[in-house]
Amino acid sequence: MKATMSPKLGLGVNLTPQLLQSIRLLQLTAPQLELELRQALERNPLLEQDEAEDEGVDSATDAQQEAAAWDELPEPSFLSGGNGGGEFDDDAASRIADGESSDPRVRLLQSLSLQWKPRDVELAAWWLDQCDDRGYLEAPLDELHLLGASSCNVDATELEIVRQRLLHGEWPGVAARDAAECLDAQLSLQPESEARTLAARILADHIDLLAMHDEAALARALKVDAEAVRAAVALILTLRAHPIADAAVNERDIVVPDVVAWRADGRWHVALNGRTAPRLRIAPHCERALADAPGDVSALRGLLDEARWLVRGVAMRNDTLLRTTQVLVERQRAFLERGEEAIAPLTLREVADAIGMHESTVSRITSGKYLQTPRGTIELKRLFAVRLDGAEVSGSAVKAMVKRLIDDEPSHAPLADDTIAGLLARQGVRVARRTVAKYRDQLAIAPARQRRRPAALMAKAG
């Protein structure tokens, strides 16, 4: 075999350490960036914290010259944090939590508002206001029926129906009269068994013996053996003593906004959240000393190069994040001002073209980053919305329209999916019945036949 050589031209990207560091910094969230910079301060003596009020822009300007290199990198899932396919899932974006209140009542009402009628949510809020911090009613039930009937202008029967839905709902035991009713509501959700039947009897007739942990007396009172009592008591002990438990705080669930947007002087303003990470700079006296230092100072020069790469990389990240957010806020100003139904179709490519960068860059810089607005703190990727086929609106906006129409429908005559599609068509939004059904399912709303309330019940409630 004869070996031959032939010239070949190729184009590739050289993944230098500086380039890899820039990519990694680009994807860091606010808490991750803060940790990264504080560790760098401890590790590199040539870095110091910049206490100046205004951020310098020199590093950002220099850093933009490197953007073309890492813009051309592919979009693997381990770098982007996304699905690797380059397409953004509008439905997945709508499932991103906007952040939760520390008040458990508020969290429960927010959840119920996605499934219950607005009037029922109002009555549920009234019941929760009558509960203590543990979730128990603070006054006798008869008194609350009279108070609620007069203050809410409803029949006591309808008021009690809502309480029973709370009692056996998402947080079983909420709005219970006492511990026995709370535990019984939780017990009713357990699979049927002899232990559950016996536990229900204990809660109904012998809760005093349960409180004294007198299993022998329970066995005699119920005329069963001790083993059966122990199984029933063990089942009761798996239940919560109080309907409302404090939510466990997980640091990974704490949302720290990377950017802040506000409206003033008739326009929207955007700024980085300066409180999320320390500003770093190279210590000037160290840099001057190294310039004229005699002898072998290669180790210190290596630390100086590392400090320069880090400062430049952070400046590049911040500049890209700010410019991307400015475009997002400007394109979605109607959403920020009027709500979900006004969210406009917007793609990664449109934003990338506006800031002069690659789609993969926009994907990286918006993944896991949050924007604080007067409407709440939202993930940047939620501001992207897929255009609905054949329409000039986004799927997210249509989903919000579907929810509004169902919220406003007559209780005795709920709207079918094809009727909703017809109503949307009158507003210039043409969608298929199956599209309405898909969005309704995503909103956890039952079909029309399951939402119907009998006319007799309506007349009685009125």
Q: Which helix (H) or strand (E) holds 371?
A: strand 370-373
> Residue 437's pLDDT band (boundaries 50, 70, 90)?
confident
In this predicted structure, what is the pLDDT of residue 57?
A: 39
* pLDDT at 80 > cutoff 80: no
For residue 272, list its beta bridge partners: 259
Q: Which of 74-88, 125-139, 160-174 has the highest mean pLDDT?
A: 160-174
For residue 89, list its beta bridge partners: none
Distance separating alpha carbons of residues 84 and 340, to the nearest angstrom = 27
In this predicted structure, what is the pLDDT of residue 431?
A: 75
**Cα-flanking dihedrals φ and ψ of residue 15, to 5°?**
-80, 80
In this predicted structure, what is the pLDDT of residue 83?
A: 37
Identity of residue 47: L
> Residue 324's pLDDT band (boundaries 50, 70, 90)?
very high
87 versus 319: the higher-pLDDT residue is 319
* pLDDT at 155 > cutoff 50: yes
> Residue 3's pLDDT band (boundaries 50, 70, 90)?
low
In the Cβ-directed half-sphere of 319, how many Cα atoms lie within 13 Å? 23
Average pLDDT for 93-112:
59
351-379 tens-digit pLDDT:
999 999 888 888 888 888 899 988 888 88
Provide the 3-class DSSP secondary structure of residue 348.
helix
In this predicted structure, what is the pLDDT of residue 253?
A: 55
- The residue whose two tokens read 């920020």 is 336
392 versus 163: the higher-pLDDT residue is 163
Mind giving me the DSSP string for 210-252? HHTT-HHHHHHHHT--HHHHHHHHHHHHTS-SSSS-PPPP-GG
Per DSSP, 268 falls in state E
Mind giving me the DSSP string for 270-335? EEE-TTSS--EEE-HHHHHHHHT--S--HHHHHHHHHHHHHHHHHHHHHHHHHHHHHHHHHHTHHH
393 versus 25: the higher-pLDDT residue is 25
Residues of the chain with CATH 1.10.10.60: 395-461
Q: Are strands 259-264 and 370-373 parallel, antiparallel or unpaired?
A: parallel
Q: Which of 163-167, 177-181, 428-432, 457-461 has the highest mean pLDDT?
A: 163-167
Cβ–Cβ under 8 Å, residues 317 and 23: no
* pLDDT at 409 > cutoff 90: no
* pLDDT at 158 > cutoff 80: yes
Angle value at C-alpha 94, between 90 and 96, nearest 5 degrees: 120
- Where residue 141 falls (left for φ over 0; alpha for ψ -120 to 50; beta otherwise) is alpha
* pLDDT at 75 > cutoff 50: no
Identity of residue 65: Q
What kind of fold does domain 395-461 have according to CATH? Arc Repressor Mutant, subunit A (1.10.10)
Provide the 3-class DSSP secondary structure of residue 188.
coil
In the Cβ-directed half-sphere of 211, how many Cα atoms lie within 13 Å? 10
420: tokens are 């909703």
Distance separating alpha carbons of residues 359 and 87, to the nearest angstrom = 10
* pLDDT at 337 > cutoff 90: no
290 versus 323: the higher-pLDDT residue is 323
73 versus 345: the higher-pLDDT residue is 345
In this predicted structure, what is the pLDDT of residue 322?
A: 93
- The residue whose two tokens read 């301060």 is 41
Distance separating alpha carbons of residues 311 and 238, to the nearest angstrom = 53
Q: Going edge to edge, which strands form the sheet with 267-272?
A: 267-272, 259-264, 370-373, 376-379
Angstrom CA distances, 194 to 180, 181, 189, 230, stand at: 19, 20, 14, 12
237-284 tens-digit pLDDT:
888 777 776 544 444 556 788 999 998 888 899 998 877 677 888 887
Distance separating alpha carbons of residues 302 and 51, to the nearest angstrom = 25
Distance separating alpha carbons of residues 254 and 249, to the nearest angstrom = 8
In this predicted structure, what is the pLDDT of residue 441?
A: 80
* pLDDT at 230 > cutoff 80: yes
- In the chain, the percentage of residues whose pLDDT exceeds 70 is 75
Average pLDDT for 297-316:
81
Cβ–Cβ under 8 Å, residues 215 and 226: yes
Q: How far is C-alpha 388 from the chain's CA centre?
A: 24
Distance separating alpha carbons of residues 102 and 249, to the nearest angstrom = 10
Distance separating alpha carbons of residues 20 and 34, to the nearest angstrom = 19
387 versus 411: the higher-pLDDT residue is 411
Mean pLDDT of the chain: 75
The reply to whether the predicted model has a pTM over 0.75 is: no
In the Cβ-directed half-sphere of 431, how many Cα atoms lie within 13 Å? 28
Q: Which helix (H) or strand (E) holds 135?
A: none
In the Cβ-directed half-sphere of 372, how many Cα atoms lie within 13 Å? 13
* pLDDT at 424 > cutoff 70: yes
Angstrom CA distances, 142 to 147, 160, 171, stand at: 9, 10, 23
**Cα-flanking dihedrals φ and ψ of residue 375, to 5°?**
-90, -5
Residue 96: which of 444, 359, 377, 325 has the closest Cα?
377
> Residue 311's pLDDT band (boundaries 50, 70, 90)?
confident
In this predicted structure, what is the pLDDT of residue 327?
A: 93
